[in-house]
């Protein structure tokens, strides 16, 4: 019995934890009302690109899902972006820039967020008779089963070659591999 060592690719799934929406108490915002005496509100629209979440405490913004809200004039909205085990937050754009975002609802606001997925690499201890895996598809199935058993969602490719296909070619144009703890392994397969 030999040990199969398989390198696999993973498309990240993400979750998030987020900050509060607060109201800035000042006379200008407290007095903001339209001609009919109704409170003035402004829309906040958040666009999420990639696999991640952006929300605010209180649930006004919870992306993916509720990615826009009408908020009272003068409200200060603190957004926090979060990714899961693997993945990266590339920053805010629009009415926020950089790694943090707090917007004053003094006008309609639009905030963009960008997340990049990372590929997970892991080694499995699954045993098989040497040279008796059967096919690359069978090796991929072993990787997928081991990843599912470890609660890692995504698609997997075994780091193996056949007489027709090299292990490198099986990765296609993918890049950016990390271990399950998020530590980097490699950026590209270029030699």
Q: Compare 164 and 34 and report the one with higher pLDDT.
A: 164
- Residue 20: CA count within 13 A, CB half-sphere: 3
Angstrom distances, CA of residue 45 to CA of 48, 78, 93: 10, 13, 12
Question: What is residue 186's predicted lDDT score, i.e. its pLDDT?
Answer: 84
Say whether pLDDT at 121 is over 80.
Answer: yes
pLDDT in tens, 130-186: 667 788 888 888 888 888 888 776 778 888 888 899 988 888 888 778 887 777 888
Name the token pair of 43: 């829309």
Q: 111 with 101: CB under 8 angstroms?
A: yes
pLDDT at 132: 72
Hunting for tokens 């915002």 — which residue is that?
Answer: 29
What is the DSSP code (8-state) at residue 11? -
Structure tokens at 188: 């590209």
Predicted local distance difference test score (pLDDT) of residue 23? 38
Q: Cα–Cα distance between 70 and 42 in angstroms, integer?
A: 5
Least confident of 27-36, 58-67, 73-82: 27-36
The domain limits of the chain are 2-12+119-186, 21-116
The reported pLDDT for the residue numbered 49 is 85
- How does the average pLDDT of the chain come out, rounded? 77
């Amino acid at each position: 019995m030999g040990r199969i060592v398989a390198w696999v690719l993973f498309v990240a799934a993400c979750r998030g934890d987020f900050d509060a929406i607060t109201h800035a108490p000042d006379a200008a915002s407290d007095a903001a009302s339209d001609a009919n005496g109704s409170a003035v509100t402004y829309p906040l629209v958040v666009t999420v690109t990639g696999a991640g979440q952006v929300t605010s405490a209180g649930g006004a913004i919870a992306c993916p899902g509720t990615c826009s809200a009408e908020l009272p004039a003068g409200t200060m909205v603190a957004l926090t972006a979060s990714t899961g085990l693997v993945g990266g937050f590339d920053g805010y754009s629009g009415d926020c820039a950089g790694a943090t975002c707090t917007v004053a609802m003094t006008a309609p606001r639009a905030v963009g967020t960008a997340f990049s997925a990372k590929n997970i690499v892991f080694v499995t201890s699954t045993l098989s008779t040497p040279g008796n895996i059967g096919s690359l598809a069978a090796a991929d199935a072993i990787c997928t089963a081991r990843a599912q058993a470890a609660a890692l969602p995504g698609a997997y490719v075994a780091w193996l070659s056949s007489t027709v296909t090299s292990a490198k070619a099986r990765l296609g144009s993918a890049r950016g591999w990390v271990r399950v703890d998020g530590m980097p392994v490699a950026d590209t397969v270029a030699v």
